[in-house]
Structure 1
């Protein structure tokens, strides 16, 4: 008996990872002619859904799911105030400093 035939006989016992596995057949690609199901659309729930009232509130928008209430007021109209006087810059003063340069 030569060495190669001895190794071939011993390989399933000594090296079980080299033994053929009948249950682990390689996956076959799907046939090209079979119709595949369309991918499922992404479902949004909660704040990310622009079609729900919660999503509209999160997005600060209005629509059919969150109609704008015309009867709901925004309070009394505001009276325009005159512009505030300019604040004095604390680093700006009208003090003049004279500098004498000795040459």
Structure 2
């Protein structure tokens, strides 16, 4: 499964990633939907987390703007490389977007806990 799953009008940005087709992305989708009380669009990649050159993540980046909320299941689903995660995170902060890590029930605007 690759692409987008829409659950009505897009009010928040959800992102899910698995490394291979043999991994199950449905747990992430279920958790993202249960966590968000608002309608959410979830972009899904089946790709390695070693860098951020993933098709659906590139689309997510285009949607992130001031006061948007990027919701991910966990940092391990966002990426694997700490330096790459920090670079991406700085870009999100510059846009004044919000970030939710639902596995830690953690919300932040200004900093990232790794």
Q: Which has the bigger relative contact order, CA under 8 A and spacing at least 6?
A: 2
Shared fold (TM-score, shorter chain, > 0.5):
no
Q: Which has the higher helix share?
A: 2
TM-score scaled to structure 2, two decimals?
0.17
TM-score scaled to structure 1, two decimals?
0.18
Q: Which has the higher strand share?
A: 2
